[in-house]
Amino acid sequence: MTDPFEQLAAPAEPQTPRPSFARSLRAQLVEALELDPLTTTPTIHLPGRKPVTTTAPARTAELTATPYFCVHDGAAAIDWYVEAFGAIEQMRVVGDDGRLGHAELTVGSARLMLSDEHPDLGVVSPRTLGGTAVTIHLEVADVDTTFARAVAAGATALREPADQPHGARHGTLVDPFGHRWMLSQPIEDVTVDEYAARSQGSGYQVTSGPRAGQRYVDGIWGSMTYSDPDVGIRFVTEVLGFEELVLVRGDDGSIVHSEYRWPEGGIVGISGADPESPFLPPPGQNGLYVITQDPQSVWERCQAAGVDVIRPPEEPHYDPGGMVFSVRDPEGNAWSFGTYVGGATE
């Protein structure tokens, strides 16, 4: 006769206990055996971390700037832009009072918006203002033809189309609704240097990049802390060759803000010790790596100043033919200079 209990019995398989039961049992054992709970916490061995390349999520909207006109006769303005510039009306919103609240047009790939005047909202046209301070730059395929068509439709010519030293041919006009347009047609590729050479004697100086006094900094901004910040300032400027951009002192002479630029790119701030700041390490415990394409010159400056050497110049394995070295400033902070270019190999 078959034993019914054997038929009902389930196979013996290990079961994972509930987490709450495991925690409770572990706590009871630790207490019963008088163990240190800090040293008996189980260790979970995780696999080594590896760099992971991720793809940023696709942007759902593109940042754009769209001209938004106010005109004294919206419906007529739409018709005029269609006739003169070949605009295509995409939509319009008309209020119960008949005024144009909003309209959208496209001229080639350019997008324009416009509305009638709404003085109660501060929206008024060039006619009410007595002129405009804005010029719309519109790139067209044939500036002469477009310019002539606009003038024939009622625009006022301010400057007839002419070739410009920057490589475009353009003319300027004012439409019947008071808006100024610069119609432009690219005719050649011109570099900034070529543009500057062509502009000699014109009364204008052409330069590229940020003007003197303008600072654009991306990425990480380093900071070095000193018991005597003036010692740090003299070191970074007179020995290392940083350039002072900004130095703001408080009434007591302390440094409120500072910016020192490495000639090859990068900014470092020099500050005094602040025990209450979570961002500034104590003096003498700072360190920075500065990338330079001429470490030999920096090394010679450090040698001439008798700077304490942490690591003499050597060729790093990650940059064959390059050079790296490290020194300490008068308060013990570490400065490293090298030609690091990435792409290290083992």
Q: Residue 318: CB partners within 8 Å, gap ≥ 6?
A: 340, 341, 342, 343, 344, 345
Q: How high is the pLDDT of residue 133? A: 85
Using CA atoms, how far residue 130 sits from 113, 116, 179, in Å, is 21, 16, 11
Q: What is the pLDDT of residues 140-152, one digit of tens each?
A: 999 999 999 999 9
The reported pLDDT for the residue numbered 344 is 43
Q: What is the pLDDT of residue 191?
A: 86
Q: Is 9 left (phi over 0), alpha (psi -120 to 50) or beta?
A: beta
| Region 221-232 average pLDDT | 87
Instruction: Specify which of 153-167, 260-274, 281-295 reaches the highest per-range mean pLDDT.
Output: 153-167
- For tokens 């970074």, the residue is 236
Looking from the CA of 226 toward its CB, the CA atoms found within 13 Å total 21
Paired tokens of 121: 């909202």
Transcribe 193-214 into DSSP letters.
HHHHHHTTTTT-----SPPTT-
Would you give the DSSP letter of residue 50? -
Assess whether the region 68-198 and the region 222-338 belong to the same CATH fold: yes
Any idea where the domains of the chain sit in the sequence?
68-198, 222-338
Chain segment 311-343, per-residue pLDDT in tens:
999 988 878 888 999 999 999 999 999 987 654
CATH, domain range 68-198: 3.10.180.10
CATH of domain 222-338: 3.10.180.10
Residue-wise burial string across 81-111, b where 16 or more C-beta atoms lie within 10 A, e elsewhere? beebbebeeeebeeeeeeebeebbbebeebe
Residue 267 has φ and ψ, to the nearest 5°, of -125, 140
Q: Is 276 helix (H, G, I), strand (E, B) or coil?
A: coil
Between the alpha carbon of residue 30 and those of residues 25, 171, 280, the distances in Å are 9, 87, 41
Rounded to the nearest integer, the mean pLDDT of the chain is 82
